[in-house]
Amino acid sequence: MSERKVLNKYFPPDFDPELISRRKHPKNSQQVVRLMAPFSMRCNTCGEYIYKGKKFNARKETVDGEDYLGIKIFRFYIKWQVIEFTLCSAEITFKTDPMNTDYTAEHGASRNFEPWRDEGAEEEVDRLAKLEEEENNPMKVLENKTVDSKREMDILDALQDIRARNARNERVGQSDDLLARIALEEVENEEDAERKRLEEEDEKLIQEVFSKVPASGSSVVTVKRKADDQEPLPHTLLSESTRSLIASQSILVPATKKRKAVGKNTLGIKVVKKSVKPIGQ
């Protein structure tokens, strides 16, 4: 199965791009594009709402005689069809607004109310009014500068308080960590000392009890502890007298011979040979 999105096209050896004629498009031709609604709007014909992000097959064209700082302005035509509720197929147009990096509704629909857009417009109006007032009133300029400097000082004081509080909390946290670390080291040292003392007591008790064991008579037998990774041979655990007694008994007892089974193999099965008569007899 071939690829759906092929990156490398096949060009025959005799391909000549100069032989391909260029198509001539009209100066202001429309292109069919796929787009999403750039803002929420309401259709003026049927009253239904079109939400932002709904996809349409639109026609795009360049607006003649309009541009912003050399940037072209485009117009889009869409058709709103609501088959489930009404049979509205009104055409809606909107165009780009490069000055505000936005879109503007032009015909067939009205844009929904967006409070954040009004806030930006109000801020811009206030700024322009403030500049106009300062141009005609020098005392207002001085008052505005005083208010701005006071606001900056309050912000710096609040920032300094936050920094001092953070530094104090950091120092307190470091001291708490240091105290906790010291207490933990003291506990570990105490546990190590107690473990070492118990091991020394156990070793001393073992040496006192198992180092020397009195034997028969006046002799003393030294008992060695078995290592953890070494297993002693069984005859080394016996005394000399016991080993000599076992050796003497093994010499006196004669070795018994096994009786050979007649007519039996090593598996205990008796084998019987059967004579075979000749065919001619």
Q: Which two tokens stand for residue 28?
A: 């202001």
Helix, strand or coil, per DSSP, at residue 78: strand
Category of 107 on φ-ψ map: left (φ > 0), alpha (ψ -120 to 50) or beta: beta
Category of 211 on φ-ψ map: left (φ > 0), alpha (ψ -120 to 50) or beta: alpha
Give, to the nearest 10 degrees, the angle between helix 115-136 and helix 138-210: 130
Category of 157 on φ-ψ map: left (φ > 0), alpha (ψ -120 to 50) or beta: alpha
Going by C-beta distance under 8 Å and a sequence separation of 6 or more, which residues neighbour residue 135? Answer: none
Rounded to whole angstroms, the Cα distance separating 79 from 55 reads 11
CA torsion, points 96, 99, 100, 101, in degrees to nearest 10? 50
**Could you tell me where the beta strands, DSSP code E, fall in 82-184?**
89-97, 102-107, 109-111
CA-based torsion, 164, 167, 171, 173: positive or negative: positive
Is the separation of the CB atoms in 40 and 112 below 8 Å?
Answer: yes
Give the pairing of strands 102-107 and 31-36.
unpaired
pLDDT (tens digit, 0 to 9) for every residue of the chain, 281 residues total?
Answer: 566 777 788 889 999 988 888 877 777 788 899 999 999 999 888 888 889 999 999 999 999 888 999 999 999 999 877 555 556 788 999 999 998 889 999 999 999 988 777 777 778 888 888 888 888 888 888 888 888 899 999 999 999 899 888 888 777 666 666 677 777 788 888 888 888 888 888 888 877 766 555 555 555 555 555 555 566 676 666 777 777 888 887 665 555 555 555 555 555 566 666 665 666 55
Q: In the 3-class helix/strand/coil scheme, how is 195-238 assigned residue by residue? A: HHHHHHHHHHHHHHHHCEEECCCCCEEECCCCCCCCCCCHHHHC
